[in-house]
Amino acid sequence: MVRDRNLAVDIIIYGVLTLIAILCVAPILNTLALSFSSRIAAVSGKVFFLPVDFNLASYREVLKDHAFFRAFGVSVERVVLGAAINFIISVLMAYPLSKSRRIFPGRNIYMWLLIFTMLFQGGLIPLYMTINTYGLLDSIWALVLPTAVPVFNIILLVNFFKGIPKELEEAASIDGAGPWKILFYVYIPTSVPVLATITLFSVVFHWDSFFDGMIYMQHPENWPLQTYIQQVVVNANQMNNVTDPSEIKRLMAVSNQTLNAAKVFLSMIPILVFYPFLQRYFVSGIVLGSVKE
C-alpha cells in the first residue's frame, strides 16, 4: 500500500471511527448500566454508562421469574429447530437451483415459485386460519414451518454454488457419485463460510422474531423470549384499561425499569455470544453469495 501518512488526517479518521464505534455500543452499555442501578436512580434519569447505586436486585428478581426462563427455553428450542430446518431446506433447494436451465429444465419454474411466494402473501388472517386448520396453534411448529423456506438465504446460497468450479462436480460424477453424494461431499465442504453465514441469519431471525409468537401462541407459557419482552417490557400499558381496585393495587408493585433493563440485556446475550464466532465467516459469505464474477 502507498504510504504518505498525514498525522492530522489520521487522527481525524481514527477519531471519527472510534466515535462511531462508541455510538454503536452506547445503547447496550446504557442498558447494562440501568440493569445494575437502583430503581429510583433509573426513574430520575441519572444513569448513563455506569451503574448508579450499584446493586444486583434486578438480576435477583429475574432469577425468580419463571416466565422469563420458560420464554428463553422456548426461544432456544425454536432457534435450534428453526435453524436446522432452514439449513436442510436451503441446501437441498439451492443445489438444484444452482444448475442452469440446460442441465435442469424445471429450474426456472421453481425459482419463480420462490420469488412469487416471497412477494405475495395471503396476509396475516388467512395465514392464521391455515395454521389453525392444520392444528398448529400453540405449537412450536407454527413458528418454524411457515418460515422454513428462507428465500433470501437460498438465493445467497444458489449464487455461491454457481461459483463452485464445475470440474469438481464432473470429477466426482465420473467417479460414480450421484447428486446426493456430490452435494454432501463436494458442495457442502467447499461452502463453509456461506453456510455459516446463512446459519447465522437463521439463528438471528428466529431469535429476534416476536410477532408470530404473539399471533400463534395461545398461552403465554409458549411465548418465545422476544414476544415475552415485547409484551412485558415494551408494551406494558395494561394499566390504562384496568378499573378494578384490587387489580390496580397489585399492579402498582410490578412496574420496574431496571428489571426490564436486566431482561433486555439477558435476552441479548445469546446474540452477543454467538455472533463473534460466526462473524469471521459472514463477511466473505455475503460477498461471495451476492457479488458474482
Interactions with other proteins, residue window 1-40 (CB under 8 A) = 1-2, 4, 6, 9-10, 13-14, 16-18, 20-21, 23-28, 30-31, 34, 39-40
- Residue 171 CA, distance from chain mean position: 38
Q: Shortest Cβ distance from residue 27 to other proteins (Å)? A: 4
Q: Are 159 and 290 in contact, with CB atoms under 8 Å apart?
A: yes
Report the residue number, 122 or 165, with the smaller CB distance to other proteins: 122
As given in the structure block, the three cell numbers for residue 187 are 458442495
> Within 10 A of 83 (CB to CB), how many other CB atoms are there?
22
In the complex, what is the shortest distance from the CB of residue 54 to other proteins, in angstroms, rounded to a whole number?
Answer: 18
In angstroms, the Cα distances linking 53 to 20, 36, 38, 221, 270 are 29, 8, 6, 34, 27
Binding status of residue 99 toward other proteins by CB under 8 A: yes
* Shorter beta-carbon distance to other proteins: residue 179 or 190: 179
List binders of other proteins among 184-203 (CB under 8 A). Answer: none
Q: Of these, 7, 8, 120, 166, which contacts other proteins (CB under 8 A)? A: 120
Quick one: 89 or 190, whose CB is closer to other proteins? Answer: 89
The contact mask relative to other proteins for 52-71 (x = CB under 8 A, - = no) is --------------x-----
CA distance 66 to 9: 54
Least Å from the CB of residue 158 to other proteins: 7
Residue with Cβ nearer other proteins (124 or 192): 124
Nearer to other proteins, 21 or 56 (CB): 21
8 A C-beta contact, residue 217 and residue 67:
no
Cβ of residue 284: shortest distance to other proteins, in angstroms?
A: 8
Question: Which residues, numbered 227-286, are part of the site for other proteins (CB under 8 A)?
Answer: 229-231, 233-241, 243-255, 257, 260-261, 264, 267-268, 271-272, 275-276, 279, 282-283, 286
* CB of 87 vs other proteins, minimal distance in Å: 12
Per CB under 8 A, which of residues 151..180 are in contact with other proteins? 155, 158, 173, 178-180
Binders of other proteins: how many residues, by CB under 8 A?
A: 132
Residues of this chain, 204-223, that bind other proteins according to CB under 8 A? 204, 207-211, 214-215, 218-221
Residue 262 near residue 44, CB atoms below 8 Å: no
